[in-house]
Amino acid sequence: MTDPTEDIRRQELAQINAEPDSGEELEAKHGQVWNTAELQQDFCVEGFMAPYVVVTRNSDGVRGSMKFQHSPRLYYGFEPE
């Protein structure tokens, strides 16, 4: 099975992780940022396709996606569907 997004995601993943931002830098660029524990508290994770994660927000059931970087592992840019 071929994933038509694989090349694009790999390029974006390499770019994100080549020079990972601090939490403060990500927050300035994208708004709220979550570490893993905070993500688990606020969202139910449905799946990963790096650098994206599909989530459902616990407070209101809104489904969406966000990006993440590997080290430090931070999640950001929540976009509702």
Q: Residues 5-28: pLDDT tens digits?
A: 999 999 999 999 898 999 999 999
Q: How many domains does the chain have?
A: 1
At position 18, the amino acid (one-letter code) is A
Yes or no: say if 74 and 34 are a contact pair by the CB < 8 Å rule. Answer: yes
pTM more than 0.85: yes
Q: Residues 22-46: pLDDT tens digits?
A: 999 999 999 999 999 999 999 999 9
Answer whether residue 1 is part of any domain: no
Answer whether residue 28 is part of any domain: yes
Work out the angle at residue 51's Cα, subtended by the Cα atoms of residues 2 and 24, and round it to the nearest 5 degrees. Answer: 170
Q: How far is CA 36 from CA 27, 50, 68, 73, 74, in A?
A: 15, 15, 10, 7, 7
Answer whether residue 22 is part of any domain: yes
Q: Residues 57-73: pLDDT tens digits?
A: 999 999 999 999 999 99
C-alpha closest to that of 73 among 43, 39, 36, 32: 36
